Amino acid sequence: MESSKTVRKLEVASPVPADIDIANSVAPLHIADIAADLNLSPRHYDLYGKYKAKVLLSVLDEVQDSPDGYYVVVGGITPTPLGEGKSTTTVGLCQALGAFLDKKVVTCLRQPSQGPTFGIKGGAAGGGYSQVIPMDEFNLHLTGDIHAITAANNLLAAAIDTRIFHEATQSDKALFNRLCPPNKEGKRTFCNIMYRRLKKLGIDKTNPDDLTPEEVTKFARLDIDPDSVTWRRVMDVNDRFLRKITVGQGPDEKGMVRETGFDISVASEIMAVLALTTSLDDMRERLGKMVIGNSKAGEPITADDLGLGGALTVLMKDAINPTLMQTLEGTPVLVHAGPFANIAHGNSSIVADKIALKLVGSGGFVVTEAGFGSDIGTEKFMNIKCRYSGLTPQCAIVVATVRALKMHGGGPQVVAGRPLDRAYLTENVGLVEAGCVNLARHISNTKAYGSNVVVAINMFSTDTEAELNAVRKAAIDAGAFDAVICTHHAHGGKGAVSTEYSINSYQYYGCDARLSSFAIPMLVDLGIAVQKACENVTQPLRFLYPLDASIKEKIEAIAKSYGAAGVEYSEQAEKQIEMYSKQGFSNLPICMAKTQYSFSDNAAAKGAPTGFILPIRDVRASIGAGFIYPLVGTMSTMPGLPTRPCFFDIDLDTTTGKVIGLS
């Protein structure tokens, strides 16, 4: 494939400036130029200013007969709270492939939530000289998809409480008369969405006046059990004080008080629906099938039962289109969806990947990132996302750092916002080797899906030749196709192919004078390794479990991959599994909700623990998105702000209009 006409060669500085300063130092290309490199014409996208565009789904119809490119997923080892650089690796790899290896490439990323952006983690545009730009727009409102999800989610929440209220204060006849009022001629009609509920109830009548009194009651009264309602309101802000609230305290609600709470917007099932949908029709069906709770008789109540599936689709009709952006070096990026990586599946959208694979064509590359460690993100990518997409990855990357491996080898606790212990700043090969058990398990688990595994070792200035060699050896011994040391944070694509940098230029990711005799592999080696891994894959995609297995069998298959000796179910979990099985949902894939900081349920259990019993506290369902999610321990869906959030540093230069302090 020919390289992009728009690639930009970077002039890197040492030491590496702040991310926002690097992003602001590069003038983005007009997004029409990025689109043109993908053979997209103005009819294929809607502009959102100069540097963003929504790529229309109609593109898929035009390119459906084109061959797909290679499909690469980026996961990682079990991370420290500081993160190990998956986004940076994803972006840097694509810059190397597109700007220096002359490959057609598209990066597919999730849209960041404002919660971590203003909280403790910061944004998710990559870092250093491997970033998506404009970085401030990427990390903030972008094209409004998360706002659309928030609006749709909260409309459904309002509809639930309103329906409970009206049913509690009206007779069956009054409800029916208001749901199907007579027109000016005195004739009643069903609106289109009502036929979905009628079909569900087995009523094939088209005239409201033909319904029997029993049918009127069944149709008009959902009889929602307030204690069964699982649908919560959302907002895209970390606000711990909204985790539990009461609603209905106003005098007009006649004492209908109910306990509920807020989740962060990216934890909404509507976000998961957006990420897993394959078309506008499919999204409409998924939104309508979302279950918000049960009737008092134990029947699932859906958004379509509430008459809302169509309205939700209207609010989401623009959000279904991926957003086109660019990297610092002018390679294209599709940003779409941002599902929570614990409760949901933590991967960007199927439609973005499908569009990208057709646009890069044969020999091109689509690189997408899966959230958290590969035990969470890559597992869900394979068993959930690939099931619904029908796509097969040829290569899976596992991102590792010496820092994280030292932690898994018994190093001191790593805490965000605190200085690193001396153990992480001085050579300790034994600690690294001990921690490589974590890397080895991630490699073996990922290989089991049939993809070739390439390990990307993000290098820090304090890493030594002996430590890095230990990681490479452990990776190869564990069955990795290749293991490559990467310096993309400090050098971007230019650093990927150039040997002109002195040892002293490695100020953040890189090496120091102790490595003067070490032949430093550049990021281009990662690109070459990924290409070879894709070209030499020999195994078909293998799932961890069949869909026709029981809910418990699927949970236990995943638990076994963690190293668990067994699974223990709470009384509540047993009750929910029985209910979902009776309701016909047992054939859905499983989306485990557990800590990202350990293979087990215990975040303090580092390395590769075995023999533990995995506790399932509860089991819930996202029926519209299409998965069952067991809760392993206590999982928060509304993060809280730390004492010193990132927003202290964020401001606007009112002279230039540029955002400053965003990380």
Other C-beta atoms closer than 10 Å to the C-beta of 251 total: 6
Residue type present at position 632: V
Q: Does one domain contain both 266 and 331?
A: no
Other C-beta atoms closer than 10 Å to the C-beta of 134 total: 24
> Of 292, 310, 328, which residue sits at a domain end?
310
**What is the dihedral sign for C-alpha 593, 598, 604, 605?**
positive
Listed as ranges, residues in the chain with pLDDT below 70 are 1-7, 121-123, 490-491, 493-523
Q: Is residue 649 part of a domain?
A: no
Containing domain of residue 580, as a range? 551-631
Q: What is the CATH number of the domain that holds 209?
A: 3.30.1510.10
Q: What is the CATH number of the domain that holds 418?
A: 3.40.50.300
Q: Is residue 650 part of a domain?
A: no
Q: Does one domain contain both 95 and 162?
A: no
> What is the number of domains present in the chain?
3
Q: Is residue 510 part of a domain?
A: no
Round to whole Å and give the CA distance between 288 and 223: 18
Q: Does one domain contain both 160 and 86?
A: no
Q: Does one domain contain both 329 and 380?
A: yes
> What is the SS3 string spanning 392-449?
CCCEEEEEEEHHHHHHHCCCCCCCCCCCCCHHHCCCCHHHHHHHHHHHHHHHHHHHCC
Q: Is residue 375 part of a domain?
A: yes
Residue type present at position 256: M
- pLDDT for residue 8: 73
Contacts of 263 (CB under 8 A, 6+ apart): 232, 233, 234, 637, 638
Contacts of 657 (CB under 8 A, 6+ apart): none
Q: Does one domain contain both 112 and 190?
A: no
Tokens of 84: 């190990």
Q: 394 with 452: CB under 8 angstroms?
A: yes
Q: What is the pTM of this model?
A: 0.92
- pLDDT for residue 441: 98
Q: Does one domain contain both 243 and 347?
A: no
The 3-state DSSP class for residue 87 equals: helix
Round to whole Å and give the CA distance between 78 and 442: 8
- pLDDT for residue 522: 52
> Of 282, 310, 338, which residue sits at a domain end?
310
Q: Does one domain contain both 133 and 166?
A: no
